[in-house]
Amino acid sequence: VVCCVLGQVGNFSISQLCLPARTITAVNGQLPGPTIEAREGDTVVVHLVNESPYHMTIHWHGIFQRGTPWSDGPAMVTQCPVKPGANYTYRFNVTDQEGTLWWHAHISFLRATVYGALVIRPRGGAEAYPFTKPHGEETVILGEWWNANVYDLQQLVFLTGDTTKAPHADAYTINGKPGDFYNCSNANQTYRFQVQSNETYLLRIINAALNTPMFFKVANHSFTVIGTDAAYTTPYETDVVVVFPGQTVDALMVAGATVGRYYMAVSPYDSAIPQGPPFSMTTGTAIVEYVGSAEETPQLPPRPEYTDTDTAFRFLSNLTALVLPGKPTVPLSVDTRMFVTVGLGVSDCQPKQLLCNTSGTTRPVFSSSMNNASFVLPEAVSMLQAHYANASAGVYTRDFLDQPPVTFDYTADASDNATLQYTTKSTKVKTLRYNETVEMVLQNTRLIAKESHPMHLHGFNFFVLAQGFGNYDQATATPQFNLVNPQERNTVAVPTGGWAVIRFVANNPGMWFMHCHFDAHLDLGLAMVFEVQDGPTAETSVPPPPLDLPQC
């Protein structure tokens, strides 16, 4: 089965927040871009026509890309960018997962406006859901709106190594719109969702924001979560959904309130920096409208404080997998154990960075890292091309550490200890044998700031065995491992000042990016790549690149 979508990444003009219309890069002139709807087992073929002035790639976030590593999309990891005026065809199978995923640009900060939903229904369609078929379904994409040109913003942040140049977005959005609660917004900048009294709706909630974890609520309504990251969960009742950038949540909502109008609204969760600008609670609203309701002013739901780590952790750590026959279960034995710090720091600037030698001396710049390595993308050739050609020399090295180079108190504020902060800029990979089982402890550090990082792995889902606060301690953590029905994710929010333990099986040969899904952190090096070696057969080896693979 071929499910076809034409992705034309061009520029169009849009006016938000009552400012004059400006030009943004978007797919098919839509914000969000078109939803791709597929059934499990389908082959998806997308022709990307790049009519924007920027280099472009698209990533199919959460798709395994088994046998199609050339279609994964991160710029310089699996492909060179598609140049302005050029084309590339992405081709992949949608197998072994059902639910909600999404797609987005994977270059610069362009995913701020180049994104859309990717919905995977069972082979038997909605009739085959492992829960009662809802009356309706709705995609709810949470995002950020930036008044600035995001491409220029990324250059500024990268070249200066200064994330304060892009501290926060100008508004939050639901399905591309800021909502009518903002003092100068209006009805056509508000997304409306119509419901019939007492019917049940499946909300497919995606966080496409560059840098903001979000709480999501609907006044007078609650949810039953049935899936995350296109993996079914044990039904979980809650009145608030927590979704980090990169994650998705599928939740059932019954329209069981009095006929009327109700706000759905997001609010930021940010454990590090108070997101206190005036917009934070006045944008990111939409309206749930019962059929037959009057044009009354909707009620706002009470929203958690941005510091409400308890609510975020309760939601994220209580989810468990719905164990279905034939689904992969958590591997009980482990081949490789890794302990990896994730966090912020400073490093010597790269030659291109503007702060170098401002006063004749080399100044350190803000950076982020995994095990003290600040990841840098290669420039001449993509890592997958180098891997396939057996020509890694000068492109990447295989010395990503399984342990941090220094052990310290990860939860202490060690900002004044330069030896702990300095990171090396490099392109390091961790090489895995085909089918090897990996356990990773992801430990947040508190250098510069204590915060929760959403760590995303390309090419795989992983099981989240346990998570907690403080320094990871194997003796006390191991008994807490869920080895029965751990949640399956492609993006885990490592708790602020804490840790998470994940496991996955390296059954997918190729080069797979792992990184923080805050774009500001990704660009400053909070990333690494797994190089998964070929298996014994042609089917378990990286295939030759497609003929239209862009060259750098």
* Residue 74 binding ligand C2O, by CB under 6 A: yes
3-class DSSP state for residue 436?
coil
Residue 515 engages ligand C2O in binding (rule: CB under 6 A) = yes
521 near ligand C2O, judged by CB under 6 A: no
- Please state the closest distance from residue 537 (CB atom) to ligand C2O, in A: 28
Binding test (CB under 6 A) with ligand C2O, winner from 61, 66, 204, 489: 61
Residue 481 to residues 235, 309, 405, 502: CA-CA distances in angstroms? 20, 21, 26, 10
Residue type present at position 524 = L
Q: Does 387 bind ligand C2O (CB under 6 A)?
A: no
Does residue 428 bind ligand C2O (CB under 6 A)?
Answer: no
Among 246, 284, 345, 459, interactor with ligand C2O by CB under 6 A = 246
Q: What is the x/- site pattern for ligand C2O, positions 344-383, by CB under 6 A? A: ----------------------------------------
**Which residues, in sequence order, are bridge partners of residue 19?**
none
Residue 306 binding ligand C2O, by CB under 6 A: no
Residue in 5, 16, 25, 106 binding ligand C2O, rule: CB under 6 A? 106
Per-position x/- string for 130-169, each x denoting binding to ligand C2O as judged by CB under 6 A, each - no binding: ----------------------------------------
Q: Is 59 among the residues that bind ligand C2O (CB under 6 A)?
A: yes
**Least distance (Å) from ligand C2O to the CB of residue 228?**
15
Burial of 192 (0-12, 13-18, 19+ CB in 10 A): middle
Per CB under 6 A, does 430 bind ligand C2O? no
Stretch that binds ligand C2O, among 320-328, 398-406, 431-439, 511-519 (CB under 6 A): 511-519
Q: Is 191 in the site for ligand C2O (CB under 6 A)?
A: no
DSSP-derived 3-state class of residue 106: coil
Pick the piece of the chain touching ligand C2O (CB under 6 A) from 36-44, 271-279, 376-384, 512-520: 512-520
429 backbone dihedrals φ, ψ, rounded to 5°? -120, 160
Sheet holding 2-14, edge to edge: 22-27, 2-14, 43-50, 87-93
Q: What is the DSSP string of 406-420?
A: S---TTS--TT-HHH
Whether the bond between 32 and the residue before it is cis, its omega within 30 degrees of 0, is yes
Tell me the window of 2-10, 159-167, 317-325, 513-521 that interacts with ligand C2O (CB under 6 A). Answer: 513-521
Between 115 and 151, CB nearer to ligand C2O: 115
Q: Tell me which of 55, 104, 217, 221 binds ligand C2O, using CB under 6 A.
A: 104
**Cα distance between residue 104 and residue 73, in whole Å:** 9
Q: C-alpha distances in angstroms, 349 versus 321, 333, 442, 485, 524?
A: 43, 41, 26, 44, 11
Span near ligand C2O by CB under 6 A; candidates 158-166, 180-188, 380-388, 509-517: 509-517
Q: Nearer to ligand C2O by C-beta: 72 or 98?
A: 72
What's the rounded Cα separation, in Å, for the pair 109 and 61? Answer: 15
Give me the helices (H) in 307-382, please.
309-318
Any idea what DSSP says for residue 34? P
For residue 400 the two structure tokens come to 């990503």
Q: Determine the interface stretch with ligand C2O among 152-160, 354-362, 438-446, 510-518 (rule: CB under 6 A).
A: 510-518
Residue 445 CB coordination number (10 Å):
28
C-beta nearest to ligand C2O: residue: 61
Q: Which two tokens stand for residue 453?
A: 């990082």
**Cα–Cα distance, 441 to 455 (Å, whole number):** 12
456 binding ligand C2O? (CB under 6 A) = yes
Question: Rule CB under 6 A: is residue 55 a binding residue for ligand C2O?
Answer: no
Report in angstroms how near the CB of residue 490 gets to ligand C2O at its nearest.
Answer: 8
Alpha carbon distance 256, 552 (integer Å): 55
Instruction: Give whichever of 104 and 450 is closer to ligand C2O, judged by the CB atom.
Output: 104
Cβ 491 to ligand C2O, closest distance in Å? Answer: 7
Which among 406, 397, 430, 413 is positioned nearest to 344, based on CA atoms?
413
Between CA 89 and CA 69 the distance in angstroms is: 13
Q: Count residues near ligand C2O (CB under 6 A).
A: 11
If one asks whether residue 458 binds ligand C2O (CB under 6 A), the answer comes out as: yes
Q: Extract the runs of DSSP E, i.e. beta strands, from 291-436.
A: 336-348, 364-370, 373-375, 422-426, 429-432
- Which residues bind to ligand C2O, rule: CB under 6 A? 59, 61, 74, 104, 106, 246, 456, 458, 513, 515, 517
